A and B are shown apart, each in its own frame.
Chain A
Amino acid sequence: RKEVEQDPGPFNVPEGATVAFNCTYSNSASQSFFWYRQDCRKEPKLLMSVYSSGNEDGRFTAQLNRASQYISLLIRDSKLSDSATYLCVVNVPSGTYKYIFGTGTRLKVLA
């Protein structure tokens, strides 16, 4: 079982739709959580950190459920420019302090 799991998609949604992605993690000691966006052949870019109480940034809302060990990303009023791969990243502050990446969920917003 992978440490961080995501549905690879693709999620094909019409413009204006609301779409949600989940990401599950296996290590209960995980402390930090992030969503990154990656466009084709580009580097990952930080979309938002995920805080325990949940947080919102414009059309994007992130939630953390520690009991069930998953994080979610909700995108409201989807734009064509939201088409990308969304990566879930988890950090476990063990001795190695590495960031564990999910495989990503591909989103296509259709006109």
Chain B
Amino acid sequence: EADIYQTPRYLVIGTGKKITLECSQTMGHDKMYWYQQDPGMELHLIHYSYGVNSTEKGDLSSESTVSRIRTEHFPLTLESARPSHTSQYLCASSDGRLNQPQHFGDGTRLSIL
């Protein structure tokens, strides 16, 4: 069982609030990822990190930002939430070796009113 945790699992919040979605892993993985997924739709990579102090934007443009100050922690922040940010956010990690898969957290389902 993969040891990657996301909090909160569900968040319903009003427009304009600052939000931080937490993601932590205890596997010592260097590589971490954030995906956004709407119901019934495909996964879209929005951010990734190859290690401490390394972050890159993914394929889908996102107004969110990320930081990687510690290996195990990869939080995602929305400075001012809007209804268009309503979605499921999935965090994943991998150790980066050939043939090693990604492991996903349970996800955060975010609803902005």
A, B bound: yes
| A interface, CB within 8 angstroms of B | 31-32, 34, 36, 40-46, 49, 51, 87, 89, 93, 96-99, 101-104
CB-contact partner of A34 in B33, B39, B101, B107, under 8 A: B101
Q: Does A31 contact B102, Cβ atoms closer than 8 Å?
A: no
Given A98-B45, A101-B42, A103-B42, check contact A41 B98 (CB 8 Å): no
Among B53-104, those with CB < 8 Å from A are 56, 58, 88, 90, 92, 94, 96, 98-104
Chain A nearest CB from B76 CB (Å) reads 15
Given the complex of chains A and B, what is the CA–CA distance between A49 and B100 in angstroms?
8
Q: Does A44 contact B104, Cβ atoms closer than 8 Å?
A: yes
Given A32-B99, A34-B101, check contact A97 B39 (CB 8 Å): no
Q: Does B88 contact A97, Cβ atoms closer than 8 Å?
A: no
**Interface majority SS (helix, strand, loop, mixed), chain A:** loop
CB-contact partner of B104 in A43, A97, A98, A102, under 8 A: A43
Q: Does A49 contact B48, Cβ atoms closer than 8 Å?
A: no
Chain A nearest CB from B89 CB (Å) reads 11
Q: What are the residues of chain B within 8 A of A49 when measuring CB–CB?
A: 99, 101
Given the complex of chains A and B, what is the CA–CA distance between A46 and B1 in angstroms?
10
Given the complex of chains A and B, what is the CA–CA distance between A36 and B92 in angstroms?
13
Q: Does B109 contact A41, Cβ atoms closer than 8 Å?
A: yes
Which residue in chain B gives the minimum CB-CB distance to A43? B104
Given the complex of chains A and B, what is the CA–CA distance between A89 and B33 in angstroms?
15
Which residue in chain B gives the minimum CB-CB distance to A6? B42
Given A34-B101, A93-B98, A98-B48, check contact A42 B43 (CB 8 Å): no
Is B22 an interface residue when CB atoms closer than 8 A count as contact?
Answer: no
Chain A nearest CB from B112 CB (Å) reads 17
